[in-house]
Amino acid sequence: MTDLTIDDLNRLDEEVFVDELDDVYEHSPWVPEQVLPERPFDSLVALREAMRSAVDEASRETKLELLRSHPDLGDQTGITESSEKEQASAGLDRLSPETYEAFQRLNDRYRGAFGFPFIMAVKNESPKAIKDAMETRVEQTESEEFRTAIEEVHTIARIRLEERVST
C-alpha cells in the first residue's frame, strides 16, 4: 500500500501493520513489532519517533545486525524495493564499469574497517557526493562511524515513512 494515513496504520491488524512498515528500517520487522503496543499514534512524527526510539534502545548487537542488513551502495542484488528506488535516484544503478569497481573497492575497504556496509541516505545525491562521503567516513573511528551510520539509518527511515504515509 501507498498513501496510507496514520489513521489507516492505526486500524491495520498487527500482521499487516508490521508488513507495511517492515522495510522502513531495512529488513527489520522487529522495529514495527516493537512499536505495536504504542498504537494508536496521533501523528506521523509520533510513529517515527517511536520507531527511532525502538532502534536507539536496542542492544549494540541488534543495531549492528540492522546496519549489516543494508546493501552495499551500487550493488543491486538482493535489495529491497525501497533501496532500489533510492539508489536509482542517485544514479547508482547506472554506474560505468570503472565507477562501479571504484565503489566496490570503497565498499570493501569500509566493510573491512567497520564490519558493516557504508550507509548513507542517498536519495537524490550524486555518485560523486556519495563517493566523497565514503572516502571521508572510512577514516572515522569505529565508534564515530557506528553513530553516523545509525543516524543515516534514521534519516532513511524518515524519508521512507514520509513517502509512504500521507499527512
Question: Which one of 52, 70, 160, 164 is the catalytic residue?
Answer: 70
β-bridge partners, 5: 166
Residue 59, number of CB atoms within 10 A of its CB: 8
Contact of 23 with 156, CB cutoff 8 Å? no
Written as nine digits, the cell of 5 is 494515513
The verdict on whether 27 is a catalytic residue reads no
Max CA distance (Å), the chain: 50
Active site positions, annotated:
70
